[in-house]
Amino acid sequence: MESSAKELVLRQLDGLELGTPDSLSWNTMVANNAASGFMQSIEWAQFKHNQGLKHLRLGIYLGDELLAGCIFYYAADSNPGFLVSPHGPILPWQNQELSRKCLGLIIGAAERLAKEESLIGLRIEPLLPVPVPDLLLEFGRSPIDLLPKETLCLDLNQSLDEILAQMKPKGRYNTRLSARNGVTVRSGTISEMIEKFYPILDLTARRDHFKIEPPAFFIELANTLMNNKLAQLLIAEHEDEIVGAIVQIIFGSTSTYLYGAITNDKRQLMTGYALQWQAIQQAKAAGCSQYDLYGFDQFCSAKHPYGRFSKFKSQFGGTVKRYCGAQDYYFMDELADALIKVFQSNQEEQTKA
């Protein structure tokens, strides 16, 4: 699949092998784009592929330079459905005219696949601040976000002492208290993702009333993302007893807190603070410029999916970032066909009744 607009060339890219010139240039492009993130990386695409999702990877070249692109994910057995692109597309957003041409190429290529797979549209979610840029005016606000629309980020360009100083007093106190209480944090292994972390996460989910993915999700996360160094597991211990753990993503200049779990026992040890402080130090050591606490509600509302965790996250200080959320683009012919099929199916059911 190839198309051009002036000097731009669109290519459908095959293969998800790591360490190749193609994958290195792809990850470099994603990592250098402030509106993109780890869900457009080759490692994440491997993870979703191993989970059974199909993908479409499109690259736009200006000469030999990979300038823009997008990875779309879709399920073969959920049609009519969407091509979804969390953290995508990757466009030169600072150049509106160039971005418009690139986006046009991406939409055209995606529409050709949509006809083959009976998909009705695109769902994209680049990390763009509100309001939605004019470039996306043909899109509509999606009823479902792929990513947290609001998050809290720490500036890692500061020294560790400066990061501590900008925390709220309670956060700073509890971080130091966890160390005085003897909580230590170490790196976990791939096998410990299921053997150690998942039981604590399941316990935490039942205690705090939120849903988690099944064990198979975390098995694949460990085998793919931990094995490829995109994710790491941090385990907190006290007197040789595991008291908590978190999963951390490190990609490009951003580290992301993805999952966390704390046992019911010894909660007075402030284990969560020890884990976050270690993750912050790991991120800084890896050269990251920001630590994303991933999902935040400044009002700590009980009805907000991240509300119950936001008071804890707020103790670390940082800056609230708000994004424009997921945006949908419909292929009208495919949407019409899908609606006709639904209508016909309903008619058949009524006739049988």
Q: Sketch the domain layout of the chain as residue ranges.
A: 2-147+324-352, 150-322
In this structure, the strands spanning 319-322 and 150-155 are antiparallel
Do residues 100 and 53 lie in contact, with contact meaning Cβ atoms separated by under 8 Å? Answer: no
pLDDT digits (tens, 9 = 90+) for 312-323: 999 999 999 999
Reply yes or no on whether the pLDDT at 350 is more than 50. Answer: no
- What are the C-alpha distances in Å from 272 to residues 74, 80, 255? 35, 42, 17
pLDDT category of residue 222 using cuts at 50, 70 and 90: very high
Do residues 241 and 199 lie in contact, with contact meaning Cβ atoms separated by under 8 Å? Answer: no
Reply yes or no on whether the pLDDT at 290 is more than 90. Answer: yes
Reply yes or no on whether the pLDDT at 343 is more than 50. Answer: no
Q: What is the mean pLDDT of residues 54-73?
A: 97
Using CA atoms, how far apart are residues 316 and 271, in angstroms rounded to an integer? 14
Length of the chain: 353
**Report field, pTM of the whole predicted structure over 0.85:** yes
pLDDT category of residue 80 using cuts at 50, 70 and 90: confident
Do residues 243 and 266 lie in contact, with contact meaning Cβ atoms separated by under 8 Å? Answer: yes
pLDDT digits (tens, 9 = 90+) for 13-31: 999 999 999 999 999 999 9
At residue 344, the pLDDT reads: 47
At residue 347, the pLDDT reads: 42
Reply yes or no on whether the pLDDT at 268 is more than 60. Answer: yes
Q: What is the mean pLDDT of residues 243-264?
A: 97
Reply yes or no on whether the pLDDT at 167 is more than 50. Answer: yes
Q: What is the mean pLDDT of residues 222-226?
A: 97
DSSP calls for 190-248: TTHIIIIIHHHHHHHHHHHT-----HHHHHHIIIIIITTTSEEEEEEEETTEEEEEEEE
For residue 73, the SS3 value is strand
Higher local confidence (pLDDT), 339 or 231: 231
Class (C level, CATH) for 2-147+324-352: alpha beta
Closest CA to 45 of 93, 9, 112, 90: 90
Reply yes or no on whether the pLDDT at 175 is more than 50. Answer: yes
At residue 299, the pLDDT reads: 84
What is the rounded average pLDDT for all residues in the chain? Answer: 92
pLDDT category of residue 349 using cuts at 50, 70 and 90: low
pLDDT category of residue 342 using cuts at 50, 70 and 90: very low
**2-147+324-352 matches 150-322 in fold:** yes
For residue 79, the SS3 value is coil
Record: fold of 150-322:
Aminopeptidase (3.40.630)
pLDDT category of residue 6 using cuts at 50, 70 and 90: low
Q: What is the mean pLDDT of residues 300-307?
A: 82
- What are the C-alpha distances in Å from 264 to residues 92, 207, 308? 47, 9, 16
| Percentage, residues of the chain above pLDDT 90 | 84
